Amino acid sequence: MKHSGNTILITGGGSGIGQALAQRWHDAGNHVIVTGRRRQALDAAIAGRERMSAYVLDVTTASEVEAFARQVVAEHPQLNVLVNNAGVYSAEKIVTRRDLAQAEQMIETNILGPIRMTNALIDHLAAQADAAIVNVSSGLAFVPYPAAPTYSATKAAIHSYTAAIRPLHAGKVEVIEIVPPQVQTELTPGQSNDPNSMPLDAFADEVMALLHAPDTPAEVCVERVRYFREAEAKGQFDEALRMLAQYS
């Protein structure tokens, strides 16, 4: 992935991992477009920063995604990088019958959102130089968290989707996966102050260092997530799953 001179669109860029990465890409000399559902958060993310733009967008609405794609390409024809970062999380107890509204929202946001965004912009991206699609998954894609089975499944799906489309776009659009560990954000209440979560700035700095390596890796895994990413290959999957189950 080219380090600077890109026009980068990042969904869920108004807070958390999305905001941290967006601002670092901007600092590196890129024009950055952030989207999200909350105008106030988006405005705060771009405040005082030239070459940053913000659009309100709900990736769970198919017609809104299509309309937005037409608008952003018209207003930013140099757009060459799509970062599918928007995501939602809900803990679940699935041992008894329950309302599935939160599970359906996670599937709509975490899986269909990136698929819709990619579909809406792929023709444009394929025609750009140095084009890239960056999908944000999770360490839980590789070892699921029993307290959040649907969320874990959505991230496993994004990992699989990203791996599947990578060879299809070889030579035209670079396809990259960022695999976060648990990071100090407000994905869940109080997580931003959790000492067991990776500090957000440290995570964003390590991601940028990996992305700016001479050869950008297909999977951007910070050291803190490697235990989960490599658990199955190293015969540690059951051990890792038992560890996560203790917190369920």
- Average pLDDT score over residue span 200-212: 96
What pLDDT does 119 receive? Answer: 98
Reading the block at residue 89, the tokens are 């999380």
- Residue 139 is predicted with a pLDDT of 98
pLDDT at 172 over 80: yes
pLDDT at 93 over 80: yes
What would the two tokens of residue 184 be?
A: 């100090």
Instruction: Return mean pLDDT, the chain.
Output: 96
What percent of the chain is helix, strand and coil (3-state, nearest 5)? 45, 15, 40
Q: Which residues are catalytic?
A: 151
Q: Is the pLDDT of residue 189 over 90?
A: no
Confidence (pTM): 0.96
Residue 105 burial (C-beta neighbours within 10 Å; 0-12, 13-18, 19+): middle
- Identify the pLDDT of residue 157: 98
> What is the pLDDT averaged over residues 28-45?
96
Query: Are the C-beta atoms of 118 and 85 separated by less than 8 Å?
Result: no
Angstrom distance (rounded) from CA 71 to CA 65: 10
Q: What is the CATH number of domain 7-245?
A: 3.40.50.720
Find out whether 132 and 173 touch, Cβ atoms under 8 Å.
yes
Q: Which helix (H) or strand (E) holds 141?
A: none
pLDDT score of 197 = 93
pLDDT, residue 80, reads 98
**Domain regions of the chain by residue span:** 7-245
Q: Residue 55 above 80 pLDDT?
A: yes
Question: Percent of the chain scored above 70 by pLDDT?
Answer: 100
Secondary structure letter of residue 186 according to DSSP: S
Instruction: Say if residue 186's pLDDT is above 90.
Output: no
8 CA to centre of own chain: 13
82 closest CA partner among 57, 61, 106: 57
Rounded Cα distance, 14 and 36, in Å: 6
pLDDT at 248 over 80: no
Answer yes or no: is pLDDT of 116 > 90.
yes
Maximal CA-CA distance, the chain? 52
Q: What does the alpha-carbon distance between residue 101 and residue 114 come to, in Å, rounded to a whole number?
A: 19
Q: What mean pLDDT comes out for the span 65-93?
A: 97
Tokens 């089975």 identify what position?
A: 149
pLDDT digits (tens, 9 = 90+) for 40-49: 999 999 999 9
Q: Which of 64-73, 92-101, 222-231 has the lowest mean pLDDT?
A: 92-101
Asked if pLDDT for residue 200 goes beyond 80, the answer is yes
